[in-house]
Amino acid sequence: MKNYITIAFLLFTASAFAQTPDRSAPPALAKARNLQLPPIQKFTLSNGLNVWLVEKHTVPLVQVNLLVQTGAFDDPQGKEGLSSLAFDMLDEGAGTYTALQLADEIEFLGATISTGSGSFSSQISCAAPVSKLDAVLKLFSDITLRPAFADTELERLRKLRLNSILQSYDEATLIAQRAYNKLLFGVQMPYGKFPTEQSVRSYTKEDLLSFHKSNFVTGNSTLIVVGDVSKESITPLLEKHLASYPKGEAAKKDRPVAKAIQGRTIYLVDKPGAAQSVIRIGRIGTTRNDPDFSNIMVMNTILGGSFASRLNTNLREEHGYSYGAGSNFGFWSVPGPFTASSSVQTDVTGPALGEFFVEFNKMLKPIPDADLTRGKNYEALGYAANFETNGSVAAQLADMISNRLPDNYFNTYVDKTLAVTKKGVEAAAKKYITPKSMLVVIVGDRAKVEEGIKKLNLGKITFLTIEDVLGKKPEL
């Protein structure tokens, strides 16, 4: 018995004097490593349609996307919203199938096919099991090449869009975004326009057919394939189902460059009874292929591009003005917008707006080492999340194609981010964070927020109504 007591005492003593782990600080992060993605294989079908392929053999799935280099900002004058409608209607009946029959066939095969239009490009996206790819590509080709554009579906979607426009008069966030775009770019530029009652009522089946004929051509399109296939296995299927994709070049797109904001301009859009105020602040930024992209991304991460950013910490954590605040760059093929934004409680609209400018001015001061390190690690360590699925890899390839990025872009991104210097970040801040030359748009209850905004002495306030922004309400 004494032996047991002695052994227990010795074990207790040894554990008491053993070295305990240091929990005073989190363990140091290992250096982020570059991605090592499979090579991008590029080839052309017999009709001249370009194909980009990345093999991923971890699961028997494949993603096939058709990227069309036409988007909302390419819509003709008076036909705003046409590209969105055209892509929405592609799967509302195609080939010999009605919309419901198409949906049933796609679901039966365990696949998904979706369509959507963006700002400068649009896509038909398909995810399918490799074992069902032949049958799924048959449906994909019907949607791509043989849409019905049925009158009944056109009228149904027209009504949905008109209802959506009517609802937008109550949506402060949408009002703020449209006012911001109109004022930042001007209504003469495509970037400041949006669908209206007049444009929606003007759509015809002939418009849709003409859009399809003009834009669904090989010179305006690229097939992106990611998944458990090889060039040898996928090429015969693509030839079988898409060899009839029309040859041709799309008309040249009119994508003008906007002028920078001069001075600080403030607009208050009155929304009586609003419980919150929506704030948008910004200026013209830069392009996706800017050589300073890495510096700009790290700089924006520090300012408003992450949950721990300065803007979110200030407005949410320290002051409790908002559930969240942030900033972002619209990296387009032409200079897009830099925007800082938040939705804040009505009674603190003025103070919240003031804190934005406090943080803008702080960005023009030397960047602390800790902020720089945190910003670089956030960008570098989180980058791999953009490549987790076949669909996300395809989305990154679409970005590469649209913005003509180099083939080694993905595999060098992390090293370029970690090589960002304090000097580079500070230069980016001085170039793009210009507190004295920014557009300020607030959508809120004028009677409750005007006085608080005036106290900031940011400049003259121009007052707008919701109809000044969106136009006259549609009559349905």
Q: Which residues pair with 128 in a beta bridge?
A: 62
The pLDDT value given to residue 354:
98
Phi and psi (nearest 5°) for 344?
A: -125, 160
- Residues 225-232 have a mean pLDDT of 98
- Residues 32-48 have a mean pLDDT of 92
For residue 86, give the 3-state DSSP assignment: helix
Please tell me the distance from the alpha carbon of residue 356 to that of residue 170, in angstroms, as a whole number.
Answer: 26
- If you ran DSSP here, which 8-state letter would residue 249 be given? -
* pLDDT at position 476 over 90: no
The pLDDT value given to residue 375:
97
* pLDDT at position 317 over 90: yes
Q: Which residues contact 133 (CB under 8 A, 6 or more apart)?
A: 62, 64, 229, 237
- pLDDT tens string 124-170: 999 999 999 999 999 999 999 999 999 999 999 999 999 999 999 99
Indicate the pLDDT class of residue 284, thresholds 50, 70 and 90: very high
The pLDDT value given to residue 34:
84
Structural domains in the chain, CATH included, are: 41-242 (3.30.830.10), 265-470 (3.30.830.10)
Among 35-39, 51-55, 429-433, name the one with the lowest average pLDDT: 35-39
Q: What is the mean pLDDT of the chain?
A: 94
Q: What percent of the chain has pLDDT over 90?
A: 90
- Residues 371-382 have a mean pLDDT of 96
- Residues 37-63 have a mean pLDDT of 97
Provide the whole-model pTM.
0.91
- Residues 246-272 have a mean pLDDT of 93
- Residues 355-379 have a mean pLDDT of 97
- pLDDT tens string 184-199: 999 889 999 999 999 9
* pLDDT at position 15 over 80: no
- pLDDT tens string 361-370: 999 999 999 9
- pLDDT tens string 410-461: 999 999 999 999 999 999 999 999 999 999 999 999 999 999 999 999 999 9
The pLDDT value given to residue 250:
84
The pLDDT value given to residue 5:
53
- Residues 217-238 have a mean pLDDT of 98
* pLDDT at position 1 over 60: no
Of the candidates 136, 200, 398, 417, the one whose C-alpha atom is nearest the C-alpha of residue 296 is 417
Q: Which residues pair with 441 in a beta bridge?
A: 267, 280
- Residues 82-99 have a mean pLDDT of 97
Indicate the pLDDT class of residue 95, thresholds 50, 70 and 90: very high
The pLDDT value given to residue 3:
56
Please tell me the distance from the alpha carbon of residue 335 to that of residue 342, in angstroms, as a whole number.
Answer: 23
Q: Which string of b and e fits 94-130 if b means at least 16 CB within 10 Å?
A: beebebeebeebbeebebebbbebbbbbbbbbbbbbb
CB of 45 closer than 8 Å to CB of 242: yes
